[in-house]
Amino acid sequence: MKKILLLIISATILLGSCKKDHKAEPEPVKIKIAEKTTSGGLRIALWADKSEFTVAYNKVYVSLAKPDGSEVNDASLTYHPLMNMISMQHSSPVEQPVYISTEHLYGGAVVFSMPSGEMGSWQLTVNVNNEPVVFDVAVAPLPSGTKYTGTFVGTDGNSYTVSLVEPVLPKIGINDIDVLVNRRADMMNFPADEGFIIELNPEMPSMGHGSPNNVNPAHKSNGHYKGKVNFTMTGDWRLHLKLKKGETVVVEDAALDLFF
Strands 139-140 and 53-54: parallel
Q: Residue 37 or residue 206: which is nearer to other proteins going by CB? A: 206
Contacting other proteins within 101-140 (CB under 8 A): none
For residue 145, state whether it binds other proteins (rule: CB under 8 A). yes
Nearest distance from C-beta of residue 94 to other proteins, angstroms: 31
Give me the helices (H) in 54-210, please: none
- 179 neighbors 224 (Cβ within 8 angstroms): yes
Segment interacting with other proteins (CB under 8 A) among 1-9, 83-91, 107-115, 116-124: 1-9
For residue 10, state whether it binds other proteins (rule: CB under 8 A). yes
How far is the C-alpha of 210 from the C-alpha of 203, rounded, in Å?
4
- 106 neighbors 64 (Cβ within 8 angstroms): yes
- 101 neighbors 85 (Cβ within 8 angstroms): no
Nearest distance from C-beta of residue 214 to other proteins, angstroms: 8
For residue 68, state whether it binds other proteins (rule: CB under 8 A). no
For residue 212, state whether it binds other proteins (rule: CB under 8 A). yes
The strands making up 159-166's β-sheet, listed across from edge to edge, are 149-153, 159-166, 173-183, 224-231, 215-221
What amino acid occupies position 48? A
- Count of chain residues binding other proteins (CB under 8 A): 38
Q: Is the dihedral of CA 241, 247, 250, 252 positive or negative?
A: positive
Greatest distance between any 2 Cα atoms in the chain: 92
For residue 53, state whether it binds other proteins (rule: CB under 8 A). no
Strands 43-48 and 197-203: unpaired
For residue 170, state whether it binds other proteins (rule: CB under 8 A). no
Q: Which residues pair with 249 in a beta bridge?
A: 244
Nearest distance from C-beta of residue 213 to other proteins, angstroms: 6
Segment interacting with other proteins (CB under 8 A) among 17-25, 72-80, 218-226, 248-256: 17-25
Segment interacting with other proteins (CB under 8 A) among 14-22, 47-55, 66-74, 99-107: 14-22
Segment interacting with other proteins (CB under 8 A) among 8-16, 88-96, 114-122, 124-132: 8-16
- 75 neighbors 97 (Cβ within 8 angstroms): no
Among 50, 168, 249, 259, binds other proteins (CB under 8 A): 259
For residue 15, state whether it binds other proteins (rule: CB under 8 A). yes
**Which residue from 112, 135, 102, 105 is spatially nearest to 35, judged by alpha carbons?**
135
List residues near other proteins by CB under 8 A.
3-4, 7-8, 10-11, 14-15, 17-18, 20-23, 145, 171-174, 204-213, 230-236, 259-260
